[in-house]
Amino acid sequence: MLERLNRALDHLEARLDQEVDIAEVARIAAVSEYHFRRLFAALAGMPLPVYVRRRRMTLAGGEVLAGEDTLLDIAVRYGYGSGEAFARAFRSVHGIGPGEARRTGATLTAQPRMSFRLVVEGSTAMRYRIVEQDAFRILGRRTRLPLVHEGLNPGAEAHREGLDPATVARMKRLGAGREPEGVLSAVVYRTDSRAEGAEADYWIGAVTAPGTAAEGLDALDVPAGTWAVFDGHGPYPQALQELWRDVFTQWFPSDRYTSRAGPELIRTRPVAPGADTDHQLWIPVDRPAAPGRP
């Protein structure tokens, strides 16, 4: 997987001075465009479009300082139809406009070319199973909040504490006898970015049959599909956040399963921050293609 990802990055790098076909880049990596974008964001710590813009502006910055071509020629070479659009992109990376950078010989910011390599970190095994799940509906309460990679998410905690006991009890009844059972959390990402501060829809609710309704509760319909279910145990929320990180930076790159669109489900037992607890992470995936098939 890492070898294919690096071949895809080589292809992208060779086309920074033209329109980049992300679908073609993903094809070289032998994964879906959706999975390529999500995996890149998890491994690189930034969304793919941000990396492409930073790399383009790194190359463009060298040409701006060299002074051999006009600023408009450089803008067109890197896919910008106007000097104004190029200047905005240039400033977003370098903190200064291209004209001023050329006049003053300013210090610019470089985004190094990226490649991925395997780093062996510890020997903790990841416990998982693959589940085929029929379509279901989540009934619960939804809010929008920024992602937090380490420590408690204040928005998630406030959302959880804002639920009255009667509503939680009703969710438990609605989710009885279905898998995953009980009250759970669901995260629906709004963009490709998983960076700290990126926005996501955060649900607290229960899995019910399709079409089930309950007054005062929001509904999220989830189609049938395959899920990778990871079990863990450790201090909350640190161990859960580390499990999520390891799924995307270790399990996916070393396995043939790929991520697909859908909510990520979290089950955990309520405990005080720092206390050990069991937790379970449900990630929507696509099964590997049969041998001989793309």
- Beta strands 136-146 and 264-268: pairing type? unpaired
Q: How far is CA 225 from the centre of its chain?
A: 19
For residue 79, count other CB atoms closer than 10 A to its CB. 17
Rounded Cα distance, 255 and 145, in Å: 31
pLDDT value, residue 120 = 52
Q: Tell me, what's the pLDDT at 196?
A: 80
Report the pLDDT value the prediction gives residue 203, as an integer from 0 to 100: 97
> In whole angstroms, what is the distance from residue 137 CA to residue 63 CA?
54
Which one, of 162, 135, 140, lies nearest residue 214 by Cα? 140
Q: Render 7-56 in DSSP notation, one character per residue.
A: HHHHHHHTTTTS---HHHHHHHHTS-HHHHHHHHHHHHSS-HHHHHHHHH
H or E element that contains 276: strand 276-286
pLDDT in tens, 215-255: 999 999 999 999 999 999 999 999 999 898 888 888 888 77
Across all residues in the chain, what is the average pLDDT? Answer: 89
Q: Are 89 and 52 in contact (CB under 8 A)?
A: no
pTM of the entire structure? 0.75
What is the chain's alpha carbon radius of gyration, rounded to the nearest angstrom?
23
Q: Where do the domains of the chain lie, and which CATH numbers do they carry?
A: 2-104 (1.10.10.60), 127-286 (3.20.80.10)
CA distance 44 to 38: 10
Which tens digit of pLDDT belongs to each residue from 10-51? 999 999 988 889 999 999 998 899 999 988 888 888 889 999
Residue 208 and residue 225: Cα distance in Å, rounded?
A: 16
Please give the share of the chain, as a percent, with pLDDT higher than 90.
60
* Phi (first) and psi of residue 263, to 5 degrees: -70, 150
CB 80 within 8 A of CB 89: yes
At 18 the pLDDT is 84
Query: Whole-angstrom Cα distance, residue 181 to residue 175?
Result: 6
Distance CA 63, CA 103 (A): 13
